[in-house]
Amino acid sequence: MNLKETCAIVGVGFSEFGKKVPKSTMTLTLEGCKRAIEDAGLTKDDVDGLLLVLPSQEGERHGWVCRTCSHLGISSTFSAGLDIGGATPIAMVQMATMAINAGMCNTVVCCYGWQNSPMGIPLSMPPGLDFTAPYGDLAALPFKAQVARRHMHLFGTTSRQMGAVAVTFRRHACMNPQAQMYEKGPITIEDHQNSRMIVEPLRLLDNAPITDSGGAVVVTSAERARHLKHRPVYISGMGQAHSGEFMRPWRDPRYPEGTFEGGKAAEIAFGMAGVRHKDIDVAQFYDGFTILVIIELEAYGFCKPGEGGSFVEEGRLELGGELPSNTAGGLLSEGHLMGMGHIAEAVRQLRGECEERQVKDAEVAFVTGYGGSPHEYPISFSYSTLILTR
């Protein structure tokens, strides 16, 4: 059964967001839900499904999704809390599409909330870091620095090429007044090269900012979507891939050592949507760190393995380039909106709401999520993709 264009995204919304927002994880979540439901022109009584990203910074607190449902005053017939890291927002849209087609519900809110320093939750050492933390490695960035070093060694990728990712997405954020880095203005490659080292070879500007935020998208059947406020944005293709290839001794021969095997996530989505790479008008790549964009371009077949650095450096991701990407600024410059921001920006582009940063006549969007288990052994990766059409 091909689910192409059986469902659509009809609402997107975010809480107030920024480096420090003094609101709880739950309140940020609820504000995102409220704005997404309002954007869809619906009321909470129209919603009968709720999916959310399990907020890991809150610890192992069971029943989070049920409490969120109660806070929203929604009676759901389909709910779940999911966790595949930054790949989760896209995975929720996929699961909503499946559940609606299965007849379990008709309108699903997919949401998250993220408060970096929640009150009442002691900052403690997460369990399971026994093979990394005793060596001083205890955050998301350092493993990407290992990946970057290996990529530089094998393919000659440079720090300036990673800088080109940051510079491009900042330029886009400067056309997005909502972006966390909007006020900071544009940056140059030299600014990137002069930014301080965090974990060598990655610098401050290779890294997304810290963001307190909540957000949601509303998914419903294509039939219902055609009678709502906005032009429907159809879910045309979706895919996932999960593996631990960086640290295991055997590989899919199509992906040389040093690159990532996320390709299946795109192959499945492209196959379902019946589109090809050249059909993509606008892309939103999960960009918690600059190096991720380079390896995603390779893994998803936009260029050959090892060529991601030069692909970016040639300006192809810029507005006006052949693959305008992260047009709202991405995680790197719009803010760390968990990848939900990427889905929302694709929706805004396909609705034609983006004004100065609008990609002309955008009809097909490609969106990626990336997560998994970056610092707990066995180190593992999750990839998720969406192809959206209008």
- Contact positions vs another protein (CB under 8 A): 123, 125, 127, 129-139, 142, 145-147, 149-150, 153, 196-201, 247-250, 377-378
- Output 206 or 296, the one with its CB closest to another protein: 206
Pick the closest to residue 50 from 228, 59, 32, 6 (CA basis). 32
> Which residues make Cβ contacts (< 8 Å) with residue 72, sequence separation at least 6?
30, 33, 44, 47, 50, 109
- Output 37 or 199, the one with its CB closest to another protein: 199
Phi and psi at 223, nearest 5°, equal: -60, -50
Are 169 and 287 within 8 A, CB to CB?
A: yes
Phi and psi at 352, nearest 5°, equal: 80, 35
What is the C-alpha to C-alpha distance for residues 316 and 238, in angstroms, rounded to an integer? 24
Pick the closest to residue 350 from 3, 9, 5 (CA basis). 9
Taking the complex as a whole, the smallest distance from the CB of residue 45 to another protein amounts, in Å, to 43
Taking the complex as a whole, the smallest distance from the CB of residue 201 to another protein amounts, in Å, to 7
- Output 102 or 125, the one with its CB closest to another protein: 125
What is the C-alpha to C-alpha distance for residues 313 and 356, in angstroms, rounded to an integer? 23
- Output 41 or 244, the one with its CB closest to another protein: 244
Taking the complex as a whole, the smallest distance from the CB of residue 368 to another protein amounts, in Å, to 23
- Output 144 or 357, the one with its CB closest to another protein: 144
Taking the complex as a whole, the smallest distance from the CB of residue 244 to another protein amounts, in Å, to 8
Taking the complex as a whole, the smallest distance from the CB of residue 209 to another protein amounts, in Å, to 14
- Bridge partner residues of 207 (DSSP): 289
- Output 309 or 329, the one with its CB closest to another protein: 309
Taking the complex as a whole, the smallest distance from the CB of residue 372 to another protein amounts, in Å, to 15
What is the C-alpha to C-alpha distance for residues 333 and 180, in angstroms, rounded to an integer? 6
